[in-house]
Amino acid sequence: MPLLTRAYVIMEFFVSNQKNVVNVEDVKKIARLSRLRVEDTELQSLADDLSGILGWIEQLNEVDVDKVEPMTSAVAMKSPMRKDIVSDGDKRDQILKNAPKKDDGFFVVPRSVE
């Protein structure tokens, strides 16, 4: 990235990022929701990273989106309908082929109900 562009953007990012959007407690919560482990020593730097990115994203607040419908599909088209019938199957061994643990035609997973 050319220096000037970088400076331009970083400046813009600091202007919009005067408060820290994400704190350490938020990171813990997001990590738990994401099923990711974050070491205590990494919490602060991740909070800074995420705050930086989210602070930069906040410039979206400048856009007038009054009466604008949120975009949900890239090309205008109707969702196609299909018959609700089984069109594929009998592939137990293929489905299990990449299982990290399997036994007698079943996936083996940790206990999920106490």
Partner 1 sequence: MTDLTKYTLNDALDAMNKGEFTSEELTTAHIKACENATKLNVFITSSFEHALEAAKNSDKRRAKGNIGLIEGAPLGVKDLFCTAGVKTTAGSKILDQFEPTYESSVTSNMNSQGMVMLGKLNLDEFAMGSSNETSAYGPVINPWKKDEKLVPGGSSGGSAAAVAADLCLGATATDTGGSIRQPASFTGTVGIKPTYGRCSRWGTVAFASSLDQAGPIAKTVKDAAILLQSMAGYDEKDSTSLNIPVPNWKTSCDKSIKGQKIGIPKEYMIDGMPRDIQLLWDQGIEWLKDSGAEIIPISLPHTKYALPAYYVVAPAEASSNLARYDGMRYGLRAEGSDLNDTYSRTRTMGFGDEVKRRIMIGTYVLSAGYYDAYYLRAQKVRARIVEDFENAWHKCDTILTPTAPSAPFTLGRKVVDPVEMYLNDIFTVTTNLAGLPGISIPAGLNQDGLPLGLQVIGKALDEDNVFATASALERAANFNLKPKKWWIE
> Where do contacts with partner 1 occur on this chain (CB under 8 A)?
1-10, 13, 22, 26-27, 30-31, 33-37, 46, 49-50, 52-54, 56-63, 65, 68-75, 77, 79-80, 82, 91, 94-95, 97-101, 107, 109-112
Q: How far is the CB of 15 from partner 1 (least distance, A)?
A: 13
Which residue, 62 or 104, is less far from partner 1 as judged by CB?
62
3-state secondary structure 17-30: CCCCCCCHHHHHHH
- DSSP conformation class of 61: G
Alpha-carbon dihedral 7, 11, 13, 14, rounded to 10 degrees: 130
Q: Considering beta carbons, is residue 9 or 15 the nearer one to partner 1?
A: 9
The answer to whether the CB of 42 falls within 8 A of the CB of 57 is no
Distance CA 50, CA 21 (A): 8
Q: Output the smallest distance, CB 24 to partner 1, in A.
A: 13
